[in-house]
Every structure is written in C-alpha cells, then in structure tokens.
C-alpha cells in the first residue's frame, strides 16, 4: 500500500517531564498501531519534531487531531510526501528525548531541530529530509 511521510514541528507549551513524554508515546503507540501508522517523535526541551508514516488520508486525519492537542502550539508541517518505504517500520511511535543528552545520533538530531526552528537548511537539504536520511538504513 502506498504511504506518505509527514514531518511537523511544534512548540511545547511547557517543559515536558519524562512521564509527560511517556504518556504521549503510550497513547500514540496504542492509537497508531491499528491505523498502520509508524514514526518517531523527538523532543529537545522546547520543541517537538515528529515523523508520521502511513496512508495519506489517515495521516491527514491524525495530524488534525494531534495539532489540536493543548500540550503544544504553532505546529507547522515541514514535509508531506509519498514514500516508497518507511523509515521507522518497527515503531508505532518511537521517542527520543534530546533533553537528557543521551540519545544516539545526538549531535545530528540537535542540528536538525535547531535548523527546523530557525527555518534554515542543512547544506542544501531541508531539516526534514536530513532527518529522514539520518535514519535511512
């Protein structure tokens, strides 16, 4: 089945604790599974960056719901394109908390979030494309 990848960035309305992030992730995993949606959520202490992968119409509906969530604001779609494969096929929603500085690929991910916040490219690529490339196996 053909899928899309949607990447958006938003601003957390307050500092998220590890428990706050787990609650978001658990809800996302249980909802996304039956929808055939996979992806990954990154948090850097102030901003969220999320990759959602699945059927285009499902993503459109899901994004509308997520966007209304009062835990974040100023959500902005950075990328929404058809994809021939998933970047996060094993995750109904992965979570990377860059706030704890422990993450794998930490430096690259921090650069992606900062570039997305500032609306600038990384070399000639957009932050979203760079993000998807970092995880392309």
Using CB under 6 A, which of the segments 20-28, 83-91, 99-107, 110-118 binds ligand FMN?
A: 20-28
86 binds ligand FMN (CB under 6 A): no
Partnered with residue 77 across adjacent β-strands are 8
Distance separating alpha carbons of residues 137 and 125, to the nearest angstrom: 18
CB of 123 to ligand FMN, least distance (A): 27
27 binds ligand FMN (CB under 6 A): yes
Distance separating alpha carbons of residues 97 and 120, to the nearest angstrom: 22
Radius of gyration of the chain (CA): 14
41 binds ligand FMN (CB under 6 A): yes
Q: Cα 25 vs. chain centroid, distance in angstroms?
A: 11
- Which CB atom, from 28 or from 115, has the smaller least distance to ligand FMN? 28
- Reduce the DSSP state of residue 51 to 3 states and report it: strand
- Reduce the DSSP state of residue 24 to 3 states and report it: helix
Among 47, 48, 79, 91, contact with ligand FMN (rule: CB under 6 A): 48
36 binds ligand FMN (CB under 6 A): no
**Residue ranges binding ligand FMN (CB under 6 A):** 24, 27-28, 31-32, 41, 48, 50, 62, 65-66, 69, 71-72, 93
């Amino acid at each position: 089945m053909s899928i899309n990848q949607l990447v958006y960035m938003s601003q957390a309305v307050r500092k998220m604790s590890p428990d706050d992030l787990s609650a978001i992730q658990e809800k996302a995993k249980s909802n996304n599974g039956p929808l055939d949606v996979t992806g990954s959520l990154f948090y850097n202490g102030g901003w969220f960056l999320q990759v959602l992968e699945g059927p285009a119409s499902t993503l459109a509906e899901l994004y509308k719901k997520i966007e209304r969530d009062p835990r974040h604001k100023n959500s902005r779609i950075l990328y929404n394109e058809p994809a021939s494969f998933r970047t996060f096929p094993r995750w109904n929603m992965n979570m990377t908390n860059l706030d704890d500085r422990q993450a794998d690929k930490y430096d690259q991910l921090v650069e992606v979030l900062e570039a997305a916040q500032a609306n600038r490219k990384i070399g000639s690529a957009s932050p979203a494309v760079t993000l998807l490339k970092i995880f392309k196996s």
